[in-house]
Amino acid sequence: MTNRYRALFDLTGKSALVMGAASGIGQATAQMLAGLGAQVVCADLDGPGAVETAKTIVSEGGTAQGLAADLGSHEQIARAVRTTVDAYGRLDIGVTTPGINIRKRLAAYTEEEFDRIVNLNLKGTFFFLKEASTVMAEQGGGSLIACSSMRALMVEPGLGVYASTKAAILQMARGLATEVGPQGVRVNTIAPGVIDTPLTRPLWDDVKAREAYSAHTVFGRWGSADEVASAVAFLASDAASYVTGENLVVDAGWTVIDGRFDPGR
């Protein structure tokens, strides 16, 4: 009986494409999926970094290869999807994690800055979901996970454009889930909270900001990339076979708690 339940989380024989695999949540996800048995293509704008992640996986007994791919390029995303199918015969798991932010108040944004955020975060995710879901629908199954954010649900000054793209990703994934579900394809999003990654490193390096963000969580700390990767692995696995169109929030209660005052104390 125990083996039957463990098998739900076993990814042996499945193939995965992870965008953003050179660092942060993408790197942790690629390593975790491989650790659970998946054959992984590690893709990133930082090609050498993606190759290095793949080498680490191989050195630990896994199967992986790395390649350079820009989430902002439709052509390069399509190539990454084809590479995965050519290498492993199919595409079972697709994960996209890259995102950028320019922390500025809305009125201070230039059109160029706006386009830069939207083109990568939203348009790039659209390209990825479009290409990967087409392959999965044709083969009759698969699991797609896109990276939204707790900022899709709650926002603060200077994050209006970034938060808008993350909210749009959530709704786009839900819409796709309704379209490809009949072909056996599941589509979900994750919504990380304050996670120590290269994207959030400027906040981490600011001691006052780091402590303020820590205090807003129930656990009083930042999360790690591995803690988000664990949620991705669940959504990728057969343990989540009846889960689609959902947004899995990984934020230590940030979007739940309303301030720190506890009248019981």
Count of domains for the chain: 1
Q: Domain with 224 in it: what CATH number?
A: 3.40.50.720
Instruction: Say if CB 45 and CB 70 are below 8 A apart.
Output: yes
Tokens linked to 143: 């699991």
Q: What is the pLDDT of residues 102-115, one digit of tens each?
A: 999 999 999 999 99
Q: Considering the domain boundaries, does residue 215 fall inside one?
A: yes
List the domain range (segments joined by +) for residue 47.
10-250
- Across the range 85-95, mean pLDDT stands at 98
Let me know if residue 73 belongs to a domain.
yes
User: Is 5 considered catalytic here?
Assistant: no
Average pLDDT for 147-175: 95
Q: Residue 5 falls within a domain, yes or no?
A: no
Q: What is the pLDDT of residue 244?
A: 98
Q: What confidence tens digit (pLDDT) does each residue in 62-76 have?
A: 999 999 999 999 999
**Taking the mean position of all CA atoms in its chain, how far away is CA 258?**
26
pLDDT band at 202 (very low <50, low <70, confident <90, very high): confident
Question: What torsion, rounded to 10 degrees, do the Cα atoms 40, 251, 77, 158 define?
Answer: -150
Q: Is 250:223 a contact under the CB 8 Å cutoff?
A: yes
Lowest pLDDT segment from 121-135, 159-173, 192-206: 192-206
Q: Coil, strand or helix: which one is 110?
A: coil
Report pLDDT for 263: 63
The active-site residue out of 88, 162, 213, 242 is 162
- For residue 258, being part of any structural domain is answered with no
Please indicate, yes or no, if residue 136 is contained in any of the structural domains: yes
Task: Give the per-residue pLDDT at 213.
Answer: 85
